[in-house]
Structure 1
Amino acid sequence: MRWGRVFAVALFFGSSLAVPSCVEVTTPKGAVPANCPSGTTNCNGRCVDIGTDVKHCGACGTACPGGLVCSEGVCEISCAKGTTDCGGSCLNLDWTNQSCGECGNACPPGELCAEGVCAKTCPEPYTKCDGKCVDLQTDEGNCGACQAACGTGEECKAGDCALACPSGSTKCGGSCVKLQADAQHCGACNKACKAPAVCAKGSCVGACPSDLLPCDGACIDPRDNPQHCGACGNVCAATEECKSGSCQCKTLCGTACVDPQSDPKHCGGCGKSCAATQTCEFGSCKCKADAVKCGSSICPDLSTNADHCGSCGNECASGAICSDGKCGCPIGLTQCGNTCVNLLTNKSHCGACGAACPGSYYYGNPLVCSGGQCVCPTGQTQCDTGCVYLESDASHCGACGQACTGGKICDGGKCVCKAGFTECSTGCKNLQTDAKSCGACGQSCAANEVCIAGACTCAAGALSCGGACVNPYNDTSNCGACGVVCPEYAPDAGTGYCMSGTCYCGGFAQLCGNACVNVSSNAAHCGKCDNACPAGQLCSGGKCG
C-alpha cells in the first residue's frame, strides 16, 4: 500500500492531539480514504499516484502490460531521463519519500526525501509541500507557494507562473500566437493586417497561397489548426489537437482522453489531481469559493487533513489521523506520548505505554513484543542470559543451564561430538589424528610418534630404529643413522655426544676412530690421531719425550 494521509471518519478514536510532527501513514486495512492527498487518486479505496503506478497508469485500473513502465501516466518502454524504474514505476529517487536514494528505501515517519537522503526538514532552498521537498521558485505544481500550480502552457520562473509558449508560437501580451498566420500579429506582435488582407507566412497578403485556407482573416494550415481542423470552423474539443487535418486526443491518461486545463483528476498533467476543496482552472488547482485557506493558496479539508486538523497549522501526532476536525489514533493503535503505537507489538510500549521490552543481553537474543507481552521470538526459550535456541545453544542444550563440555556441540537439544570426532572418557577425540587416542580411545603413541590416519608413525625427522622412533640429530646410539654409537666415557677425555647427527667429544678431546682421546697426553695419539710415541716415551703437551 502506498503511504498517504488517512482521512477516514470511521477510524477516529481518542482525543485531540496537536504536536509539531508531520508524517505519512497508511490507510488501515479495510478502511476507505475519504480524501486522498494532492497528487494522488482514490483507486478502489487506495490513494495512488496514477502518474507512476504501474497498476493504475493514467487512470484507476489501467495496468501497464508486462515489460512496460508507467512514466507520467503513460505506459512506456523505459523511464524518462531523471527517473528510475522501481518495479514498473518511474520514480525520481531524489525526492520520492517511499524510494529515497534507491528503490524501496522508505523514509521513516516524520522524515521526507531531500536530494536522495531522508531528513527531518527540507534543505535550502526547498520547502515542505504536502510531505515533499519542492523548490517554490521552479516547481510548476507549487509555484511561489504550496499547491499554487501553474496552468498548462505555463512555467514557473522565480516563483511566478509565466506563459511558456510551445515551439512555433510567440508570446504576445498574455497569449501564444503563430506569427506566420495570425492576422492581429502577422510577422510580429501587434502587427495587424487590414481587411481584406490576410496573414500568410508572416506577411499581409491579398489572398492565401494554394496550400492554406483563408479563415477569419488568417491563412491557416488546416492540417494542424485546432480552430479550423481540416476545414474552416471545425473546432477540436478541449481534449483534442489537430493532426493531419483531424481532431485527435491531445492528452491520454491511461485510456482516458482528458482536458488537463479543467480535469481535477489530471489538472495540468496526468495524475496531478486536485484536493476535494479545489477545482481545476486553466491547468491549476484553485481553492473553491467556500474553502478555508491556510496560507496564500492552501485550502485543506480541516475535517480530515492531518496537517491542518480543525484549524490551520494544527498538525496531528506521528501516526495519527484527522476525523471530524480532531486528531486521534486509528483503530488498534494507542497514543503514547506524541506517537500512535500498537501496544500488542511495540517493543517500547508493550502492553502499556512506557512498558519497554529489554533490548540487549550479555548473551542471547532480546525479547520481542507479542500479544502485549515481552516474549522470546518463536522457537526460542528465555533463560537467565536471554532468548536462546535450546536445540543448538551449547550453553543451554535441551534445557536452560545445561551446558555441553569436552568439546561437544548441541544438536537437536543433545550434547554430541561434532562430525569426525568420537566420544571417549576424556571428551571428544579425533581418532585419526589424536596422539593420545590414535585409532581407539586411550591408545597413546610413543615419544617421537604422531597419529596419522589412525596409526602411530614416526614424526617428521625421526627414524625408526629397532622398532622405536629416535631423533638422529641427538641420539648417541643412533647418531645420524641407526646403529651409529658415539664413544662412551674415557677417563682422560670425557664423554662423546651427538649433535646435528654427528658424534663429538667433550672438553679438549678429539675423536680418533671411535674413541674420545686427549691428544695432549695420549701416547697412541700424541698431538693428533694415530701419532704413536716410540716405545718407552711418554706424551706430554702433545709431544713425545
Structure 2
Amino acid sequence: MNDRPARHGTTARHSGGAGREPRVLRSALILTAAVVALAVQAACARSVDGSVPEQGIFAGNGATRTACIETECPAPFATCEGRSGLCTVDLSSDVRHCGSCDTACLSTSSLTPWTWVCSEGQCRLACEPSHADCNGLESDGCETSVRSDPANCGACGNVCADGVVCWRGACGCPSGFTQCGDDCVRLDSDNENCGACGSVCTAPASDTDPRWSCGPGITPPHTEWTCSNASCDLQCAPEFGDCNKDFCGDGCETSLANDPANCGACGHACTAGQKCQHGTCLCPPGTTMCGGICVDYLTDPANCGDCMAECPGPPSSSGKGGPTCVGGKCGYVCFPGFADCDGSIENGCEANLQTSQHHCGSCGTSCDVANGQPCVRGTCLTKPCEEPVLN
C-alpha cells in the first residue's frame, strides 16, 4: 500500500527507518542555527540602556544588520591619561595632547605677542594681529611688528617707500595726520606738535605775547595751555568748565566731573535723585546705585531683585553655564553641550553631553558603561554588527 502524502507541519511516514534520521537531524541543525542567529541579532540590536530599539531586530527590508557597541575611539579622539572619561581628548586641537597623547605644544608668556596652538594635530604659531613670523624661525616666535616695521608693513614683505612711516599697519599717514619722525600726529591738537612738528605747547616766554588773554603771566584757576586749532592758548583743564563766563576772574570754576547741575558740560543737569560721577549722571533710568555702581535689579544676576542679592550657582566663567536674572528672579542657563542632569544648582551644568557616558546627548541617555562604550560628540559609539557565520 502506498504512503499517503505528508500533511503540512508533520513528517511523512516511510516503510524504512533509514531515510527518516537524516531529515530529522537536518531540521534540528537548521533550527539551532536560526536560534543562534536570532540571539546574536538581539544582542546587537539592544540599545545603550538595555532596551530593544523600535526597529527591533530588523533594520528594514529584511536586513538583519544593526548597530553594535564600539570601544575604539574614532579619529581624532583618544583616551589620554590624566583626562577623565573615554575618547574625551581631541588630538587635532588639544595643546596638551597634540597629534598624540602627552605631546604638548610649547607654552608662552602672556607678555609675548604670540601663542602656540594645536591645529590638525600639529603645533603651530599663532600671532597676534600686530605681529607676524616674518623670518620663519620658531625660536623667536612672531618677532616682527607689522604695525610699525616699514619693511613689513601690515604683512611680511610689504615695504614702504624710503622715508615713509609705517603707522598702524599702513604706509604713510592718513588724511588729517602729518608725519613727524616715526609718528603720525594731528598738528591742530597735539601738544607736542602744535601747528608744526616739534612745536611744544607751553606758556609764552614773553609777557607781551598776545596769547596772555588775561594779562601778562596771569593763569586763571583750573586752566592750562592747550593746543587747539593748531594754536597754543589758555583753556579750561580737563573736567573743568567756565560756566559763569568769568574766565579771567575765577577761571574754570565748575567741576564738570561731580556737579549735578553741570555734569559733563555746562548746563547739563542730572534729574532728581541722580548723582554726577566722572561727568556722568548716575544712575540712568531703570537702574539703582548699589555698591557704588548702577545696577538693574531686573536683569543683574549679582543684584537680582535687590542690592547684593546674588543668584546661586557657578559663574559663567566656568564655561558650562551661568546664573540669570529675569524680571528680578534668579535662574540658571546651560551653555550648548552641557546640562544640569542632577538637578543641583550648586554644581551648575555638571554634565558634558558630548562626552558623558551616563548623559550622552541628553540627560539619562546612558551608553554601555560596563562594556566600555564611549560617548563621542553626544552619541554612544557604535559600529555595524558582524553577520553570524553558519556552518
Q: Which has the higher contact order (CA 8 A, sep 6+)?
A: 2
Structure with greater proportional strand content: 1
Give TM-score, length-normalised by structure 2: 0.26
Of the two, which has the highest radius of gyration?
A: 1
Give TM-score, length-normalised by structure 1: 0.20
Structure with greater proportional helix content: 2
